Amino acid sequence: MKKGDVMRRDLTYCVIGAGNGGLAMAGYLSKIGYKVNLFNRTLEKIIPLQKDPTIHLTGEVTGSGTLNRVTSNIEEAIEDVDVIMVTIPAMGHRSIAIEMAPYLQDGQIIILNPGRTGGALEVYEILSKKGKNNITVAEAQTLIYAARSTSPNSAHIFQTKKEVTLAAIPAIKTNYVLKLINDAYPQFIEAKDVLETSINNYGAIFHPGPTLLNSGHIERGIPFQYYIDGITPSIGKFLEKMDMERMKIGRMLQIQTLSALDWLEETYGSYGDSLYEGVQNTSAYQGLQAPKGLQIRYIYEDVPCSLVPMESIARVLGFRTPAISSIIDIAQIITGRDFRLEGRTADKLGLAGLSIANMHDLARNGSVIKSELEEVM
């Protein structure tokens, strides 16, 4: 059967990454009857699953799923699978794309869960340069689960999001991708293009800001609920400022976007007159504990792969983002890293020097016809 003819339960999946989201996703997909391979670059982490390839789920979803293959060999992991679900942190998207490229087969679909900001553009460009032009690259606007791994072979799913937007490059493949995966995940819905999913990146608001503004407690390892306790009224006000800057980018790019507060209502059924109140009323966040150190993806992923590209795109559009930029500055001072140098920028994503129309053209097709380039509007 050709890749393009495979539908629904005949699909085979590979989940890339055995972290919180990866274990939850691989466990769920295998539990409901799909053939699932699991890849993790660090072999030591998956040895227990190689001995017993069963993932146990608790929380909103309960039960167990048995994996088809557990490996640290990327060629074995993606061989003959239809959909590759990438759940590793966004700073690993470039390297995993390079690692997969020699072994990708025509018609395979890569879905970044999530892409953060610019993930699909980055991966598509890498694969195009390596001659992999018959691969569809898609990105989800966020991870579908609020989940935590509880052991090397178990995960707790606090809640599954009600809706998650998804877009593909090329955009004409978005509906095809959705038809394939909606049997497992009806929550995925169509976005206009990967610019829309990239700007509607709510992790950029909920992850690095609360982490850095609670860095003292986190560094001392003091237990607290990350969202419920970590987002106080004053931190909530600061996050609202960041969110206003994100929405301004969306408006200028003619992208449909919701405020973070409205997104909580749409995604989790949470209500409130402020972002602080909305977070406090989000049952999915109850029990989600703060990390016990600062060497975490909320800084090393969300700053270079979410905030840096948003700040950079805003500057291309002619305005500054003082709240977003202040979090980048704090992250750089605390870590000693130059995230603006390391991270995704408008230039690296191919967006610099393009009109808004051409930015969407790039997001839809993966390329822009140079003769049609215009001045930035």
Residues catalogued as catalytic: 207, 302
Closest-CA residue to 144 (of 166, 172, 167): 166
Residue 92 backbone dihedrals phi, psi, to 5 degrees? -100, 0
**Which tokens in the block code for residue 108?**
């395979």
Cβ atoms of 166 and 188 closer than 8 Å: yes
**Which tokens in the block code for residue 276?**
């602080």
**Which tokens in the block code for residue 331?**
């992250």
Residue 229 backbone dihedrals phi, psi, to 5 degrees? -90, -30
Strand partners, 146: 159
Q: Identify the sign of the CA torsion 150, 153, 156, 162.
A: positive
Q: How far apart are CA 364 and CA 253, in angstroms?
A: 14
Q: How far apart are CA 206 and CA 185, in angstroms?
A: 24
Distance of alpha carbon 74 from its chain centroid, rounded?
A: 20
DSSP state of 7: -
Residue ranges of alpha helices (H) inside 163-232 are: 174-181, 194-199, 203-206, 208-213, 215-219
Residue 63 backbone dihedrals phi, psi, to 5 degrees? 130, -170
Coil, helix or strand at residue 366: coil
HSE on the CB side for 295, CA within 13 Å?
Answer: 0
Cβ atoms < 10 Å from Cβ of 201: 27
User: Percentages helix, strand, coil for the chain, rounded to the nearest 5?
Assistant: 45, 15, 35
Cβ atoms < 10 Å from Cβ of 359: 26
**Which tokens in the block code for residue 125?**
């460009």
Cβ atoms of 61 and 32 closer than 8 Å: no
